[in-house]
Amino acid sequence: MSYLKGLLASCLVLASVLSWVKAVPINIDKTKVKLPEETVKEPPQSVDTGLHYDRYLREVIDFLEKDQHFREKLHNTDMEDIKRGKLAKELDFVSHHVRTKLDELKRQEVSRLRTLIKAKQDIEGGNDIAVDHQVLLKQFEYLNHMNPHTFEVEDLDRLIKSATKDLENYDKERHEEFKRYEMMKEHERQEHLKTLDEEGRMKEEEHYEEMKKKHADHPKVNHPGSKDQLKEVWEEADGLDPEDFDPKTFFNLHDTNGDGFFDEQELEALFTKELEKIYDPTNEEDDMVEMEEERLRMREHVMNEVDSNKDRLVSLDEFLVATKKKEFLEPDSWEALEQNQAYTEEEMREFEEQLARQEEDLNLKAADLQKQREDLERQQEQLNAQKIELQQAVEHMERIKTQKVPPPPEMHLQGNAVPESLGHDPPPVPPENQPLPPGHQDIPPEQQQQQQQQHVPQNQQDLGQEPQHIPQENQPLSPGHNSLPHDSPQMPLDHNNVP
């Protein structure tokens, strides 16, 4: 079980620091970032390990530890035996309650994976495509997908092997992440220099070199895990006489959970005094992200030297054996991060080229999005114009419906108006009570009679006929010319049929 505990502890430690590197933006002053005390000493247990099956791994290990028989059998089991799968018989003796809970955990995990597969399919637009979950579940190597209902020994073996492999890759990923962090810092510094004039660049470079010297000017750092380093903790942290240093007593004092092992978190807590020699959160020149990377370097170094069975835990026996080695008594000097640049010039050049390509891609995407935006704005303007035209047409129709329209002009013909049969347009008839235009005022009856006598039809004169006698008002008409009733319509005179 020690290997399982070490595996989970390693995940927690690596994830806690990687989360710090990712959480703190590059463009703020890292030297002003102060880590919480509990983060410096011991990362909280709720930290994500970074594995996508993190929750499943945690719960399986927790429930296996609750079974007394299984815990006793695995306490001294060799790591290689665990990796080779010699757990079948021991798993068969796990209590029914624990075994039932493991079955339930596996069913929940399989259901979670199926949900992820379905969500990915929906995003990719393949709703109409039949999904073979058994085929897709093959990619998740940490469980036996052919048996989704019960937790068997194969599931435990798969889980351990997958976590071990993924943890090794995760450790490499952390190193790469820190390298990218350092290169991005340098890239942004160089970009800032480009914005300054010659005098400003000189001052900035001088300030940068001054900060580097101040950071490097610190007390000697003891080799992690050496006698000098542990005696310093014994004296300053534990308050004991350095002449009374005893490795076994030291181990028991700093095995904080009393399980008989130094896990990675307990080891890292031993390096706090050394780190305080190099880093101070109040100093401008000290980067707290670099401090955490230094802590991990120290822990990895000690694990490589002391953890002989590679179970990611240091037992008391392993620790006591290490205290008798020459590396413990007469160690080499420790080179801190400022003495070991995280990247090479070639890596920095490739990083700059990659950033340039990414910037170019982003600019192209931005230009395409701007063009789409302009097209949408034009379409919106056209739609707005059409909407306004439609509203105006509707309003016009409403006005026509509600407005009184005058009758046609031919309905107003009265008196001596010339009909359309004469080939002349009828004169316009002014509306009632509207004053006549100049020259069209009402003429008295006597004047109208004189005008009629003066105007002889032109066709009669052309025929050589004398003008007909027009009877005066109140003069009796000749036979055959009886007057028409007053309200009878007056027949028009047809000049074309004159004898």
Per-residue pLDDT tens over the stretch 263-296: 888 999 999 999 999 999 999 999 999 999 999 8
Q: Given a cut of 70, is residue 446 above it in pLDDT?
A: no
Q: Is residue 11 helix, strand or coil?
A: helix
Q: Does residue 481 surpass a pLDDT of 90?
A: no
Closest among 172, 445, 212 to 300, alpha carbons compared: 172
Torsion angle of C-alpha atoms 196, 199, 200, 206, degrees rounded to 10: 130
Between 89 and 457, the more confident residue is 89
Residue 147's pLDDT is what?
85
Confidence of residue 19 (pLDDT cuts 50, 70, 90): very low
* Cβ proximity of 41 and 275 under 8 Å: no
pLDDT value at residue 163: 80
Asked whether the beta carbons of 468 and 478 are under 8 A apart, the reply is no
Q: DSSP H helical segments within 46-152, as ranges?
A: 54-66, 68-74, 79-83, 88-92, 96-123, 133-136
pLDDT value, residue 2 = 52
List, in order, residues 6 or more apart from 87 with CB less than 8 Å away: 74, 153, 156, 157
Q: For the chain, what is the total number of helices (H) and then of strands (E)?
A: 20, 2
The whole-number pLDDT of residue 119 equals 79
Q: What is the pTM of this model?
A: 0.57
Residue 392 has pLDDT above 50, yes or no: yes
Mean pLDDT of the 452-469 span: 47
Say yes or no to pLDDT of 51 above 60: yes
Q: What is the pLDDT of residue 254?
A: 95
* Rounded-to-integer distance, Cα 317 and Cα 261, Å: 9
Average pLDDT of every residue of the chain? 76
Percent of the chain exceeding pLDDT 70 equals 64
In order of 164, 463, 477, the CA distances from 482 in angstroms are 134, 27, 6
Beta-ladder partners of 314: 262
The 3-class secondary structure across 290-332, one letter per residue, is: HHHHHHHHHHHHHHHHHCCCCCCCEEHHHHHHHCCCHHHHCCC
Indicate the angle between helix axes 153-194 and 345-402, nearest 10 degrees.
90
| Sequence-distant (≥ 6) Cβ neighbours of residue 289 within 8 angstroms | 20, 21, 24, 30, 33, 178, 181
Q: Which residues lie closer than 8 Å to 214 by C-beta, 6 or more apart?
A: 283, 285
Distance CA 120, CA 139 (A): 14
pLDDT score recorded for residue 313: 86
For residue 86, pLDDT beyond 90: no
For the record, the structure tokens of 254 come out as 């700093």
Nearest Cα neighbor of 315 from 272, 271, 259, 270 is 259
Task: Give me the pLDDT at residue 332, please.
Answer: 87
* Predicted pLDDT of residue 129: 58
For 141-190, what is each residue's pLDDT tens digit?
888 878 888 998 888 888 878 887 777 777 788 889 999 999 999 999 99
pLDDT value at residue 433: 52
* Residue whose tokens read 């990362």: 43
Domains, the chain, ordered by start: 53-165 (no CATH), 196-343 (1.10.238.10)
Confidence tier at 230 by pLDDT (50, 70, 90)? very high
